Each structure stands twice: as structure tokens, then as C-alpha cells.
């Protein structure tokens, strides 16, 4: 049976990297394999591939995932917690069992006030960010929704001095918004892959902004300084103004 998606085997021709959240199909070592992800047989990776198909066919846009499974399965791997589509076998487990979505309860402070897991993930993402940057992509775009993943990745990007270069889209944490987010971002990724210059930074998506504001009120834990700035929600005027700079 012919695959309905493109999986790039060699990223040497890619000038743009799109970093997406992992999904349940990680357990079988293939984020594209929706049959293991949902009854709808669809997921964010398949949606991104569909919307970027022309560039994917040319090998110009590669995908990667933030995946905290690597903290359990490969804690000493120098590649860290960013998994390229050419190496998805890194997150496969022998049982083929989904270990569950990265809930915020994993990242909340311990009773003693420690943020151990968020610190560990940030450290592993620093490794991943440095490695990705060394691969020579002209542009890196992130679209990561779980709060713990977003905070850790944003902090890692800043620690590596790349906040002004990498383009980070902030979206609500609930997965129901992911497909729409991909459709909103895809035209911008196409423009970037074609050479458009855009300043890096964090860009909330205006269409999803109301949901982001509503959702942010549910997270009551006060973040430590390292991540606090990434938990703030920008004003609607700032969001709209920044979005205009990305207009295609």
C-alpha cells in the first residue's frame, strides 16, 4: 500500500525545519502513522505534510519533534529531546505502547517546590537546539502546543542565543487546536522556505488567541524566572501587529 505522506530520508537538501509536537505514534517509531494515533487516522504531522506537499516533495522542508520520551529511553544521547523525521526509531518502545500525552501535571512543581522534570527537559532541549543549529538550516520554525514542551523549548532557544532567529508559534495547549494551527502556519513556512526574511521570536496565532487567553488562566502555577517570561500572554494589539509582519 502506497503511503499517503512523504517521509524525508535525507535532510541534506532541506533549508527549513518545522518542529512539531510528538504524538502517540511515537511508540511505533513513526509520527506519521496515524492508524496508531487516532480513529480518524489523521494527525498534525500528516496535516503539515499535506499543506507543505510541494516543498516536501522537493525535500526543502524537514520535520522534527519535541519528545520527552528520550529522557526515559536515551538520557545520555547527545542529540537531546529533538527528534528528526530521519531518526524516529529513537522513540520506539519494544511494547509498541503509547505512554500518554505530556500532561502539565508531569511538569508542575514537586511538593518541595522543585521543577525537576521541566529542568531536565529544558537541558535536553538545549542539546537538541544546539545540534539542530549545527546542521545548517537557514530557518527553524516551532509549533509545539503542550505547555511543558513550549516553556522548555522557548527557554532552550533563549539559552542558545537563538530567540531572534528561530520563529516560535504559540498556540493553546489542547490538541483540538493543532490542525487549525498547522493550516495557519503553513503559508508562512512556505514563504520562509522560499527565502522570505522574518525576525525570530514568539508569535501567537491571532485566530487562536482567545482560546490561548482562556486556557492560560487555568494554569495557576507560578513559573520560576527561567520560564516565567514564556508563560505571559501578549496583548491582542501586540499579537495582531506582530502577525502582520508575517503576512503572506
- Of all residues in the chain, the percent with pLDDT exceeding 70 is 96
- Return the pLDDT at 198: 94
User: Above 70 in pLDDT, residue 96?
Assistant: no
Mean pLDDT of 85-114: 84
Residue 10 zone, left/alpha/beta (φ > 0; ψ -120 to 50; rest): beta
Query: Cα 1–7–39 angle (5° rounding)?
Result: 60
Per-residue model confidence (pLDDT) at position 1 = 47
On average, the pLDDT of the chain sits at: 92
User: Look-up: residue for cell 509545539?
Assistant: 144
HSE, CB side, 13 Å, CA atoms: give it for residue 125: 28
Q: Where are the domains of the chain?
A: 16-244
pLDDT reported for residue 227: 95
Confidence of residue 95 (pLDDT cuts 50, 70, 90): confident
SS3 31: coil
Of 202 and 43, more confident: 202
Q: How far is CA 40 from the centre of its chain?
A: 22
The Cα 234–Cα 50 span in angstroms is: 30
- pLDDT single digits (tens) 56-75: 999 999 999 999 999 888 88
Distance CA 180, CA 124 (A): 29
Give residue-wise pLDDT tens across range 148-196: 999 999 999 999 999 999 999 999 999 999 999 999 999 999 999 999 9
How does pLDDT run across 29-39, given as a tens digit for each residue?
Answer: 999 997 766 66
Query: Do residues 77 and 33 lie in contact, with contact meaning Cβ atoms separated by under 8 Å?
Result: no
Q: Residues of 167-206 as b/e, b for ≥16 C-beta within 10 angstroms? A: bbbbbbbebebbbbbbebbbebbbbbbeeeeeebebbbbe
Amino acid at each position: 500500500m502506497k503511503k499517503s505522506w512523504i517521509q524525508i530520508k535525507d535532510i541534506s537538501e532541506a533549508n527549513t525545519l518545522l518542529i512539531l509536537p510528538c504524538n502517540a505514534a511515537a511508540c511505533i517509531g513513526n509520527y506519521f502513522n496515524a492508524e496508531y494515533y487516532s480513529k480518524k487516522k489523521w494527525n498534525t504531522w500528516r496535516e503539515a505534510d499535506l499543506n507543505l506537499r510541494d516543498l516536501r516533495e522537493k525535500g526543502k522542508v524537514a520535520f522534527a519533534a519535541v519528545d520527552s520520551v528520550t529522557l526515559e529511553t536515551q538520557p545520555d544521547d547527545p542529540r537531546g529531546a529533538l527528534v528528526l523525521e530521519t531518526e524516529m526509531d529513537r522513540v520506539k518502545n519494544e511494547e509498541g505502547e503509547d505512554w500518554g500525552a505530556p500532561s502539565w501535571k508531569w511538569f508542575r512543581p514537586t511538593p518541595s517546590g522543585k521543577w525537576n522534570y521541566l529542568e531536565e527537559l529544558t537541558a535536553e532541549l538545549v542539546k537538541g537546539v544546539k545540534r539542530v543549529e549545527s546542521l545548517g538550516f537557514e530557518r527553524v520554525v516551532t509549533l509545539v502546543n503542550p505547555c511543558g514542551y513550549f516553556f522548555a523549548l522557548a527557554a532552550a532557544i533563549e539559552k542558545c542565543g537563538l530567540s531572534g532567529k528561530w520563529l516560535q508559534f504559540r498556540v493553546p495547549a489542547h490538541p483540538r487546536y493543532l490542525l487549525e494551527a498547522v493550516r495557519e502556519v503553513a503559508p508562512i513556512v512556505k514563504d520562509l522556505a522560499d527565502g522570505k526574511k522574518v525576525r525570530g521570536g514568539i508569535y501567537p496565532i491571532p485566530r487562536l488567541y482567545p482560546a490561548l487567553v482562556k486556557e492560560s488562566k487555568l494554569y495557576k502555577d507560578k513559573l520560576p524566572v527561567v520560564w516565567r517570561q514564556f508563560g505571559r500572554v501578549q496583548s491582542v494589539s501586540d499579537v495582531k501587529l506582530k502577525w502582520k509582519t508575517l503576512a503572506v
